[in-house]
Chain A
């Protein structure tokens, strides 16, 4: 389903998704390392739980496993996610 793949910053709040590709080159090296250390990596299942206040969408709070991880829209834009329709 190509239409269910989008960049993470476009993922609606509450929808489950899986990261299918990350453009690591678009991120600073330490940030890439930290994201992976926090479990934000290709194959991770996640959902967007909250979005920032001013300007609407920045930063984002993700649910990854049992953790909540905050990141910026700029990071989210580097990630392709596939929406999981039935929460799998």
Chain B
């Protein structure tokens, strides 16, 4: 094989494409965006049974070539070779859900009619068997005129055969266009039914497990109770389960720091490594366990099919503020990070609906706020039980609720003013319930964890180095405080004047400057600030609590928490909003309204706390 060949997986949403993609490519994946648009491109290297490597792309799930969303638009363009810089795939692999043939064959016929080399993966055949369906892949192959390979991605069944079929399909282009090319949607649907009828050998009327699960999970009042309980468990777990892992990581960073101190001579370089680099990155990296735990739950909810049920349950409530249940998934993802959340809004077909969701996504408490919340809560909120739960967990839950309520009110106002438009709809397929695949979960967690670490290792490290330089230069004269003498001190002095009415001291003003990059930087820069201010080599990140208690009052701490519920301190969110809305108008609007809310609510919190005598 002389050139790098390309194959693409196409199919309806919920056909098990991603699981098949993971099974075929393993960990050899690259996730990026398609040029010019913001649809996620998942590509990976697959080794054919003859040893030849090909590039396999997992195209966004699609119901037809007539696009109704940006995702479907990308799929159509890639298949037809119309996307600039993206050569058309040499082989198309249509992924069908074996237990939903009459639906999935509609799009399959449309793709086969293009006359490109095509292979069909009759996927999730085990689930079809569980549902009492017996299928005849040969008959399907005869009806469609292309090879059909039964696969079970999870059990790695049929993968070698599929690879073989892809290898053979290559070069078999140019077969006469299929006679069904001119069918319209209704005709294709009838054809799909008759093909499916011919392929289904027998069908026993087994009671399907998932309809019984729906009877409980979509129950008018048990459903929402279950959802709320589930969300509460998730947030308690994020706080409680992560603690021992965090202690371990903190200890590890402390060991490295001690090692550096033992090996190196006292001086500016040693201070730079321990106070600048290790204190900064260490304070952020310790929050990896919380992020992994939260993503674990989100990935499980997605993989099991529960996420769509949550959207169904939430639709009426979302409709109340002018959104749809579809916004629930992007907004729930925003609890991990607003960046993937905002990117997930691409599945929302209504543009006004989508814009509103993007604008309120930063109000969902993302994982980057957790380090900030966790440090402040640990330092200022006593860890005593309130009923069955701890007060600290309760305060954290309250901050999440505060963000959600704020988002709902903002959505309501936006939908009546800047994003006014027709009421949006809610039409979505509810996938079958499935057990999550450990391998896919592991891969997803690894990819998210890696993205976070890379951020901690690059942006946050750079920001901390700059901050450390700003804090240490110019060097203080004898008897003068280093922070006062530094560049950062002068910038913060100006900012502190504006922030004084909401109870923020100059250390906070100083921390807010670099945390424009990312919220979690606030923690590391506070750690750096106090480490430098104390002039004490032993002061590292894990002693931040004591420092905060020494320098902050309780009203200030509470105001700081309120500030971070709203403040858009994340350069990545701003950047992704610019990209998703194609201009600076909406990110500028987002910055302005969120900073205004942050200022107002931090002020209200501060003065209320003082009035209540805290």
Q: Point out residues on A near B: beta carbons under 8 Å.
A: 27-28, 30-31, 33-39, 41, 49-56, 58-59, 61, 63, 65-72, 74-75
Contact = CB atoms under 8 A, between A and B. Distances in A.
Nearest to B222: A53
Interface string B582-603: 0000000000000000000000
Contacts of B311: 70
Contacts of A36: 185
Nearest to B63: A37
Contact of A66 (B68, B103, B316, B426): B103
Contacts of B68: 30, 33-34, 37
A56 B223 CA distance: 13
B426 A59 contact: yes
Contacts of A66: 99-100, 102-103, 131
Nearest to B227: A53
Given A36-B185, A50-B218, A67-B429, A31 B423 contact: no
B186 interface: yes
Given A38-B103, A69-B428, A53 B423 contact: no
A70 B221 contact: no
Contacts of B103: 38-39, 65-67
B220 A34 contact: no
B537 interface: no
A33 B63 CA distance: 10
Contacts of A63: 211
Nearest to B14: A67
Contact of A70 (B102, B186, B312): B312
Contacts of B425: 27-28, 31, 71-72, 74-75
Given A30-B69, A33-B66, A39-B189, 7 more contacts: A33-B68, A49-B214, A58-B315, A61-B214, A69-B427, A69-B428, A72-B426
B317 A61 contact: no
B349 interface: yes
Interface in B394-445: 422-423, 425-430
Interface of B, secondary structure class, is helix
24 contacts: A28-B350, A28-B422, A33-B64, A35-B427, A37-B68, A37-B185, A38-B427, A38-B429, A49-B211, A50-B218, A52-B220, A52-B316, A54-B320, A56-B220, A59-B312, A59-B316, A66-B100, A66-B103, A66-B131, A69-B427, A70-B430, A71-B425, A71-B427, A72-B315
B427 A31 contact: yes
A63 B223 CA distance: 19
Q: What range describes how many residues of B lie at the interface? A: 35 or more
B102 to A, nearest CB: 5
Contacts of A33: 64, 66, 68
A71 B186 CA distance: 20
B325 interface: yes
B349 A41 contact: no
Interface of A, secondary structure class, is mixed
B64 A37 contact: yes
A59 to B, nearest CB: 5
A31 B349 contact: yes
Interface of B: 63-64, 66, 68-69, 99-100, 102-103, 106-107, 131, 185-186, 189, 211, 214-215, 218, 220-221, 223-224, 308, 311-313, 315-317, 319-320, 325, 349-350, 422-423, 425-430
A36 to B, nearest CB: 6
Contact of B427 (A41, A55, A65, A70): A70
A35 B64 CA distance: 12
B218 A61 contact: yes
Contacts of B64: 33, 37
A46 to B, nearest CB: 13
A74 B312 contact: no
B64 to A, nearest CB: 5
Given A31-B427, A53-B224, A67 B422 contact: no
Contacts of A51: 220
A59 B189 CA distance: 25
Nearest to A50: B218
A41 B316 CA distance: 24
A8 to B, nearest CB: 13
A59 B429 CA distance: 13
Contacts of A37: 63-64, 68, 106-107, 185
Nearest to A62: B430
A54 B221 CA distance: 9
Contacts of B427: 31, 34-35, 38, 69-72, 75
Contacts of A71: 425-427
Contacts of B107: 37
B428 A70 contact: yes
A65 B430 CA distance: 13
Contacts of B429: 38, 67-70
Given A67-B103, A69-B429, A70-B325, A61 B312 contact: yes
Contact of B63 (A38, A58, A59, A61): A38
A41 B221 CA distance: 31
A74 B211 CA distance: 24
Contacts of B319: 58, 72
